[in-house]
Amino acid sequence: MLAGRAPALLLCIVLGCASSSQPGSVPPTPENQAFSYLTNLIPVDVTISGETGNAFVDTGNPLVLLDPLTFPSIVSLPQTGGPVSSMTVGTRSLRNVYALPSNAGLTSPDPAFPLGGNIGCTAICSLVASFNYRDVTFALGPTAPAPPSGLEPAISLGFSFLGGGVDDGVTIPKSRIVVMVSLEGNDYAMILDTGASSVTVSQAAFTALTADGRTQIQTSGVETTSGVSTTSLARAASVGVGGAEVDSVVVAHDPAFDTNLAAISMDAGQTIDGSLGGDFLHDFYVTVDYAASTVQLARYSDLGFAVDQAESLGIALTAEGNDYAVSAVSTAASAQGIDAGDTVTSIDGVDLSGLTLSQATLLLYGKVGSTKIVKFGAAQQVANETLTMVVEEFLPQ
């Protein structure tokens, strides 16, 4: 949701302004801030043998995955993985972290922000991990840092810490943070998953949610760890866990993810119905204390930063050289004469030239019913025109 977002804040995200951060964390760049707001992933710098790359922190992954192209010094690791003698995650130096040389699941939606690593349990499960979705910072240490300002009182809940074993020669640590999640009053066992952009559920849970015929969106050609598949989205009236509840949450189902859920269920020793991901978690400052098996969720007092992926202008953008072109249009946008291939030069006075794809795309989101001024360059019907476009709700409750 971008409801209540001030124009100045949006310009800060796109063009860069000073940002607060918690002790032990690295302030975000404008690009990783935009990337994070769009994907609900918390990016961190990872350094190994002087080689630094972008990675994201994933409570849903038992292991650390590192792309050998980003970190050439790990090419000697066997395919079943091995210890990395020294690596730095954010500001935390770690020793002998077990990692796999793999780029599985590391395809970034923004070419300007390539991903070189997925930082899972073998790096974080002996410490306290803190995820600040608002300020896009991550902290890792033996104790939790002082929380940032602007939070409501935290809700603390215990979790079942499950899993562990050997799979295809790879030792899997106990890593699954399993919590009971209420999806419109129906309870499901899910893993707390900071590596999931959305609340993603099984086919059975999604079928139950949408049995009333509510609006769904399908996005085709989505790349997952199991290949290209189609993701379906619907809006849930409420998602809650341990007394923390979020209203009007976008929930996803991906057929390829059912394969992952089956593997997670086998690892956890019980049926796991989904991942409690970013569309829920981004409302909270999240602290995971692995030793104590507790999660703290402190809601942000101002949620103006949080993006709702189903509330935006009725166009999608793609980079074409130094320009941005329309790659898809809604019915309302088409009625204004906009077509795929039309070039967009500015949105609400912000020139798109020089922006990354994440920064440009973020300008498309806003409060439903609000308007944005979109200027076009080369186009079929709206060449060099300036149009007033309305932010649409694509998943009405």
> pLDDT tens across 159-183, in order?
999 999 888 778 889 999 999 999 9
- The predicted structure's pLDDT at residue 20: 53
pLDDT of residue 55: 96
41-65 average pLDDT score: 96
What's the pLDDT score for residue 225?
A: 41
379 or 110, greater pLDDT:
110
Of the candidates 39, 57, 307, 36, the residue with the CA atom closest to the CA atom of residue 192: 57
Positive or negative, the CA dihedral 263, 268, 270, 272 is: negative
Structure tokens belonging to residue 396 = 């009405």
Q: Please compute the mean of the pLDDT values over residues 248-259 and round it to a whole number.
A: 93
Sole residue written with tokens 């998602």: 239
3 state DSSP class of 259: helix
Structure tokens at 166: 């050997």
d(CA 87, CA 370): 46
pTM: 0.91
Q: What is the mean pLDDT of the chain?
A: 90
Residue 397 CA to residue 391 CA, distance in Å, equals 16
Only one residue has tokens 């980003």, namely 70
pLDDT band at 10 (very low <50, low <70, confident <90, very high): low
pLDDT given at position 18: 45
Q: Is the per-residue pLDDT at 220 higher than 80? A: no
Q: Which residues are CB-neighbours of 212 under 8 A, at least 6 positions away? A: none
192, 180, 182: which is closest to 295 by C-alpha? 192
* Contact in structure between 120 and 174 (CB atoms under 8 Å): no
Residues 340, 372, 246, 150, CA torsion sign: positive
pLDDT at position 310 over 50: yes
Region of residue 372 (phi > 0: left; psi between -120 and 50: alpha; otherwise: beta):
beta
Give 252's contacts (C-beta < 8 A, 6+ positions apart): 198, 199, 200, 201, 231, 232, 233
Residue-by-residue DSSP string for 51-120: EEEEEEE-TT-SSEEE-TTT-GGGTTS-TT-EEEEEEEETTEEEEEEEEEE--TT---S-TTS---EEE-
Name all domains of the chain by residue range, CATH numbers in brackets.
7-141 (2.40.70.10), 164-283 (2.40.70.10), 311-393 (2.30.42.10)
CB 131 within 8 A of CB 285: yes
No. of helices (H) and no. of strands (E), the chain: 8, 29
Q: Distance (Å, rounded) from C-alpha 264 to C-alpha 162?
A: 10
Look up residue 76 and give its two tokens: 């000697």
